[in-house]
Amino acid sequence: MTAALATDAAAVDDLVRASAGHMRRRLLLDRVARYGLLLPFVVVFFPLIDLLYWISETALPTFTWATLTQDQIGNGGGLHAMIIGTAVLIALATTIATLIGIAAGLYTAEYAPPAIARLGRTAGNVLAGVPAIVLGFWGYFLLVIYTGWGYTVLGGALTLSILMVPFIYRTSDLAFSAVPASQREAALAMGARRYQFLGRIALPIAIPGILTGVILAMAIGLGETAPLIYTAGWANVPLTGLFSPTSYLTGAIWLFYSQPPDIGLYALAFQAAFVLIVMVVAINVTLQAVAEHYRRRLRGLFS
């Protein structure tokens, strides 16, 4: 018995040596991975940091309260009308796109026959890929010329919402499709009708996913210029109604960047960019918090 338990020196030597070699190789690989991957990681964030620095450098020295509260006039003034324009455009477009996107996503996930659902998903992806400027061009003919509205806030918001809708539609479809089948079964076993299950159970479960799409769509919508150039027109004073033309922050960047650097308009382009980024961040943070609130209520559901 004891013989079997005696240590075989050769075997120990073999194991330890092999392990050591193996270990060295692994440590080396680990180090390569650790520092090799650091570079791409930095590359991802470098442009963001540089961009923020570069914009702030020109935007902030002349940034005053008046930048936010004054309308643009002559070679100077502020972003007042453009901030209002952008806020109204994005609010309208988000409302329209969210209502349509959720409804269409619900139909696709819940009611559509498989062939129609596939078609809808493909169409959504195609629409998401249509270049913004083509969409704007089309919006011009449909909502400016054909309707006889001329350049309007409504025309701009509608065009923008068409750009945003596929993102909300696709995430809503996915979010509704991911609702556990057991939830449906249990609700129907209680004598719930399908719309009651959808409204009271599926929608709350899908909300975090839908919000992800809304956040993405809003970030994209806020940054768009091309669809608005063709449809919303331009006005130095704040909009007075849905059928008045309006200016907007992205337009300020596009219009003023080529002005001589020593006059106020040039700085206004940078200030518009700065305000735009602040708006994107604020919306993102707020909606993420809302999504997180809903997500917390679902903890334990998918386990």
Partner 1 sequence: MNGSPIASGAPASPPSPEPPVVATEHLVVRSRERVILNDVSLAFPDRDVTAIIGPSGCGKTTFIRTLNRMTEIGSGLMVRGRVLYRGQDIYARGVNPVIVRQRIGMVFQRPVVFPMSIFENVAFGLRINRVDEATVERTVESCLRRAGLWTEIGDDLDRSGLTLSGGQQQRLCIARALAVEPRVLLMDEPTASLDPVAAQKVESLLFELRQNYAVIIVTHNLQQAARVATRTAFLYEGRMIEFDETKRLFESPREKLTENYVTGRFG
Binding-site size for partner 1 (CB under 8 A) equals 23
In sequence order, what are the residues at sequence separation of 6 or more whose Cβ sits closer than 8 angstroms to the Cβ of residue 23?
none
Site for partner 1 in 61-120 (CB under 8 A): none
Which of 78, 45, 17 lies closest to 267, judged by CA?
78
- Per CB under 8 A, the list member of 33, 66, 186, 282 interacting with partner 1 is 186
32: tokens are: 């390569």
In sequence order, what are the residues at sequence separation of 6 or more whose Cβ sits closer than 8 angstroms to the Cβ of residue 207?
175, 291, 294
Residue 292 found at the interface with partner 1 (CB under 8 A): no
Stretch that binds partner 1, among 84-92, 133-141, 198-206, 230-238 (CB under 8 A): 198-206
- Closest separation between CB of residue 108 and partner 1, Å? 16
Residue 198 found at the interface with partner 1 (CB under 8 A): no
By beta-carbon proximity to partner 1, the closer residue of 44 and 181 is 181
Stretch that binds partner 1, among 40-48, 58-66, 200-208, 271-279 (CB under 8 A): 200-208
Exposed / middle / buried, residue 142 (Cβ in 10 Å: 0-12, 13-18, 19+): middle
Residue ranges with strand state E in the chain: 72-73, 76-77
Residue 193 found at the interface with partner 1 (CB under 8 A): yes
Give the separation between CA 200 and CA 269, rounded to whole angstroms. 47
- Per CB under 8 A, the list member of 35, 190, 241, 261 interacting with partner 1 is 190
- Closest separation between CB of residue 175 and partner 1, Å? 13
Residue 178 found at the interface with partner 1 (CB under 8 A): no
- Closest separation between CB of residue 121 and partner 1, Å? 20
Give the separation between CA 28 and CA 247, rounded to whole angstroms. 57
Stretch that binds partner 1, among 22-30, 69-77, 188-196, 278-286 (CB under 8 A): 188-196
Residue with tokens 């839908």: 210
By beta-carbon proximity to partner 1, the closer residue of 39 and 189 is 189
What is residue 178's three-state secondary structure? coil
Find out whether 82 and 252 touch, Cβ atoms under 8 Å: yes
- Closest separation between CB of residue 32 and partner 1, Å? 43
Find out whether 153 and 243 touch, Cβ atoms under 8 Å: yes
The 8-class DSSP code of residue 71 comes to P
- Closest separation between CB of residue 206 and partner 1, Å? 11
Catalog residues that contact partner 1 under the rule CB under 8 A. Answer: 181-193, 196, 200-201, 204-205, 297-301
